[in-house]
Amino acid sequence: MRILIDMQAAQNISSHRGIGRYIVGFAKGLIASCNHHEIFLLFNAAYPQEISRLESIFRPILPKEHLLFWHSPVCCFPDVNDDEIEWHEKCCGKIYAFTVMKYHIDLLINGGIFHDILEMDGAHGLPFLAGKVKLAVVVYDFLPFQDSKCMPNDLSLQKMFHRRYEYYQFMDVFLCISDFTASECRRYFPNRNIVSISSAADAVAENIRNIDLTPFILDKPFILYAGGMDERKNVGLLIEAFGKMTLAVRQKHQLVIVCGRNPHGKMQILGKLAEMGIKDDDVKLLNYVTDNELAWLYSNCKLFVFPSLAEGFGLPPLEAMMNGAPVIASNATSLPEIIGMNEALFDPTDVESLRGKMERALTDECFLEILRQNSNIQTQKFSWKLTGKRAIDAFENAEFTSRKTDRTSIKKEDLLQLLRELSLPGLSVVLMQDLARSVVRSLQYTGEESVLDVIN
């Protein structure tokens, strides 16, 4: 099979978040476990800032000609309305589909249907590819459709979420990142080809000996949290539990929270600290940290705590465990799969459950050592190569190779027709030129000027 992995989730706003890390690890695992299929990666040239980084990762393990590119048109509407958003999606989608068909792909793996909704330069083209290639999708969670707080307030973005949700109907196989997500997926899509391929994490950095610790100002053993600041992450419960620990225990420890680039989340934390009467010296709020700095924090914390109410998988606790940290986490959704030990779990709706678990870990060295050993045991169960193998097994069991695909060649007239179909009444010449260039570049057609003539 010729298998193409869409890498856009590793290029845009998601590039250094869980989804971006996941798709890079998944691609590496698929390449490592795939001996008799051809693997190709598809990048979007609209995100050039990440391409060199990703090429440095994949060029040592894939032939250069297996790194493919498409060019989405730039969205530059000053006041975008719903019609223009749908036009842009259709435009990008058709160019994307033409590009995929050009490379005679048997199976396309979509890295995440919703990852690019806040940026309008990405696209998937899945409705245009249905029936022409086999389609697989990585499924992270269904949180936006289960909790209104996870859905954007903007009505246009909500419509985009629901349109993208409809793309699931075109999928031949669902690749779920946890057993929990797979069970949720079966509820939404019964009798479909759904498989749990799990996840993995890399030790975040290889060399952490020369880290400048000056910005951290840590002078006590510390409890660490890293992993997002939105409401479902439940950081407020962690602060409350820390504030309610016995004074003798609390005075011997600091709480370190990695806020990232989230000023609103940081302001909420400061408000909670003031409400609890917790001194500034007791809690350290860090902004963005590098991979090396995060690895140092994981490796040196006395305890990593993850109080989330809902996760599709939950990468931060696994990353912490990969770096040797003792970890406790909530007993919600997918997290028990990662932690694998009931004694290391707490109720994320009960502050006393978390307070008690934290105090036990911080005062009982035997329990803390059990948590460290558990981290070592659990991390052996997760690897990108195993995740890749599970995906390959799913594809082969689905008999993907048995169906013939439509390998119709792309001709000049197809390009011209595509431009005619995508013309929006009143669209400026500048946007039409950008559209024409995107078509030409994505398909690497040499007669660009003749194609541009269609807009004159």
Residue 247 has a pLDDT of 94
Return the residue matching tokens 């225990």.
249
420: its two tokens: 């005619």
Looking at domain 222-382, what is its CATH homologous superfamily?
Glycogen Phosphorylase B; (3.40.50.2000)
138: its two tokens: 């990585």
pTM above 0.75, yes or no: yes
400: its two tokens: 């993907």
Residues of the chain with pLDDT under 50: 78, 401-404, 407, 446-456
Which segments of 114-170 are extended strands (E)? Answer: 134-139
Nearest alpha carbon to residue 88 among 67, 72, 64 = 72
Residue 451 has a pLDDT of 44
* DSSP-derived secondary structure for 317-331: HHHHHHTT--EEEES
* pLDDT tens per residue, range 265-291: 788 888 888 888 888 789 999 988 888
Residue 452 has a pLDDT of 46
Strand, helix or coil for residue 268: helix
Phi, psi of 34 (to 5 degrees): -110, 100
- A 10 A CB-CB count for 279 gives 9
Strand, helix or coil for residue 352: helix
Return the residue matching tokens 């030409």.
440
* pLDDT tens per residue, range 391-412: 999 999 876 544 445 545 556 6
Residue 214 has a pLDDT of 65
In order of 26, 114, 143, 162, the CA distances from 166 in angstroms are: 24, 11, 16, 7
CA 253, 260, 205 angle in degrees (round to 5)?
A: 80
16: its two tokens: 């250094």
Residue 116 has a pLDDT of 66
Residue 114 has a pLDDT of 84
Residue 154 has a pLDDT of 82
CA 276, 279, 282 angle in degrees (round to 5)?
A: 105
Do residues 333 and 325 lie in contact, with contact meaning Cβ atoms separated by under 8 Å? no
Say how far residue 257 (Cα) sits from the centre of its chain.
21
Longest dimension (CA), the chain: 78
Domain 2-200+385-408's class?
alpha beta
Residue 242 has a pLDDT of 96
Residue 215 has a pLDDT of 65
| Same fold across 2-200+385-408 and 222-382 | yes
Handedness of CA 204, 205, 209, 213 (dihedral sign): negative
Q: Which residues contact 43 (CB under 8 A, 6 or more apart)?
A: 7, 8, 11, 51, 54, 67, 68, 69, 70
Nearest alpha carbon to residue 302 among 246, 367, 238 = 367
Which segments of 297-369 are extended strands (E)? Answer: 303-306, 327-330, 345-346
Domain assignments of the chain as residue spans, ordered by start: 2-200+385-408, 222-382, 410-456
* pLDDT tens per residue, range 182-195: 999 999 999 999 99
Over the Cα atoms of the chain, what is R_g?
A: 24
